[in-house]
Amino acid sequence: MTVDEQDRVLRNASLLIENNVIRAIGPGPFEADQVIDARGCFVYPGLVNTHHHLYQTFTRNLPGVQKLELFAWLRALYGIWRGLNDDCVYYAALAGLGELVKYGCTTCMDHHYVFPRNGSEHFIRREFDAAEALGVRLCAARGSMSRGESEGGLPPDDLTQSVDVILRESQRLVETYHDASRFSMRTVVLAPCSPFSVTTELLKESTKLARSLGVRLHTHLGETRDETEYCLQTLGKRPLEYMGDCGWLGADVWFAHGIHFTDAELRLLADTQTGVAHCPVSNMKLASGVCRVPDMLALGVPLGLAVDGSASNDGSNLLAEIRAAYLLHRLVSSDKAPTGYELLKIATRGSARLLGRDDIGSLAVGMAADLFILDVSLLDQVGAKLDPANLPGTVGYARPAKYVIINGEVVVRDGELTTIDERFAAQKANALAMKLVNGENRRA
């Protein structure tokens, strides 16, 4: 399944990888030092996740918040997230990224926006450490919150930082970690959290800084009706108009969710090529609404797929997200809904585009060697082999990939992570998660 420009499906094909790049695709077989026998399997380009909060892996499945919608849910969780430390961030990232990788994701964007005042400055470094340990590409979004409760925002004041600190840290992270070269494993984007948790000054200054440094911009927008109400009452404008006035439109900007947009707003997104990260499971879980994906596809709004944070999903499985998206849109849009293959394209090429990348997202000569292999010779796929393009949407695949290759390295073999000791990591992560949830990390 190439997901290339011609949407080619090749039967009985071979694929040659040299170092980290795809060198040939064709009938084969090719001469190689190492051969993976993929008979009875389908091969797909690696999935690209365009919005996540990996730290939330430690606060998933919390009994007390399961009936809440976004604002109440956030208020309930801020108090727990206050206790985040370097180890939590590292092991939560390892857990979330590990799950993503096992199910075919090869590039993940993570939006980390909780930086407790007087807390650690190493969270983003620890995320990159986790990504490196697993061998997965990471796009780290330096999130931020600057509008606390005392200024009419949603988060408690001690989870906000000053605009100066945020901009200084953002610049430092871009200069330290952002690698704009082809096949890069590390990129950085600037990502103030949402209109109800950041100041207008931060939004405006972030666009200036991002554009001067040549990095992209990301935030939450159009997620809930509460957000629209908040913007109308506090800022005097609808969310997209407000963001537009702050400089947040353009091909270097993408928003998470994008549910509550009017027809005119969708046209504005298309005209400016501003993108949307579609997060269907989170949107269903938090009862936020349904993103107008069929309309966006018709208008040409750039679209990617994402799992959103682990606490509103409550997992990190982008392969399963394709099926959830397929079913959700079938339910609400019937024959106008995207096909399984259109959603696969959104989760690969579409997502890559949101991250500003043309070196990942399809299997073609000269592209990064990022792919996953599904064994379709087992009982749970009997009869489903007719249509590899639509399979992830229409049938789904409920077990880890047989192989996952990222940047030319085998990171999953026979469904197991090859780069870390998964049981040890899970044990350590569970112990840290319990301490966080029980409030044992809280600063005096």
DSSP 8-class letter at 232: I
Give the pairing type, strands 303-305 and 275-278: parallel
Residue 99 vs 308, nearer CB to Zn ion? 308
Q: How far is CA 257 from each of CA 139, 277, 290, 309, rounded to the nearest angstrom?
A: 18, 6, 9, 12
Give the residues across from 22 on adjacent strands: 17
Nearer to Zn ion, 312 or 441 (CB): 312
Q: How far is the CB of 66 from Zn ion (least distance, A)?
A: 18
Q: Which of 208, 77, 39 is CA-nearest to residue 155?
A: 77
Q: Which is nearer to Zn ion, 209 or 256 (CB)?
A: 256
Q: Alpha carbon 166 to chain centroid distance?
A: 22
Structure tokens at 81: 């997230």
Structure tokens at 30: 């090719």
Handedness of CA 114, 115, 116, 117 (dihedral sign): negative
Of 127 and 308, which has the nearer Cβ to Zn ion?
Answer: 308
The residue whose two tokens read 């911009």 is 217
| Nearest distance in Å: CB 31, Zn ion | 46
CA atoms of 95 and 89, how far apart (whole Å): 10
How many angstroms separate the CA atoms of 305 and 95, rounded? 20
CB of 193: closest distance to Zn ion in angstroms? 8
Q: State the minimum distance, in angstroms, from the CB of residue 274 to Zn ion.
A: 17
Nearer to Zn ion, 112 or 238 (CB): 112
Residues that bind Zn ion (CB under 5 A): 256, 308
Closest residue to Zn ion, judged by C-beta, is: 308
Shortest separation between residue 253's beta carbon and Zn ion, angstroms: 16
Shortest Cβ distance from residue 54 to Zn ion (Å)? 11
SS3 186: strand
* Residues 6+ positions from 442 with CB-CB distance below 8 Å: 82, 83
Q: Which is nearer to Zn ion, 223 or 342 (CB)?
A: 223
Task: Locate 67 and state its tokens.
Answer: 């009936």
CB of 408 vs Zn ion, minimal distance in Å: 31
Q: What's the order of all strands across the beta sheet hosting 41-45?
A: 41-45, 371-375, 403-406, 409-413, 416-417
CB 97 within 8 A of CB 54: yes
Query: What number of residues does the chain have?
Result: 444
As measured in angstroms, the least distance from the Cβ of 312 to Zn ion is 7
Task: Identify the bridge partners of residue 410 per DSSP, sorted by sequence position.
Answer: 405
Which residue number, 101 or 256, has a Cβ lying nearer to Zn ion?
A: 256
Q: Which is nearer to Zn ion, 112 or 349 (CB)?
A: 112
| The residue type at 400 | P
Task: Sort strands 14-18 and 21-26 into parallel, antiparallel or unpaired.
Answer: antiparallel
In the bound complex, what is the minimum distance in angstroms from residue 134's beta carbon to Zn ion? Answer: 21
Q: How far is the CB of 419 from Zn ion (least distance, A)?
A: 27
* Cβ nearer to Zn ion, comparing 256 with 293: 256
Phi, psi torsion values for 59, nearest 5 degrees = -125, 35
**80 versus 373: smaller Cβ distance to Zn ion:** 80
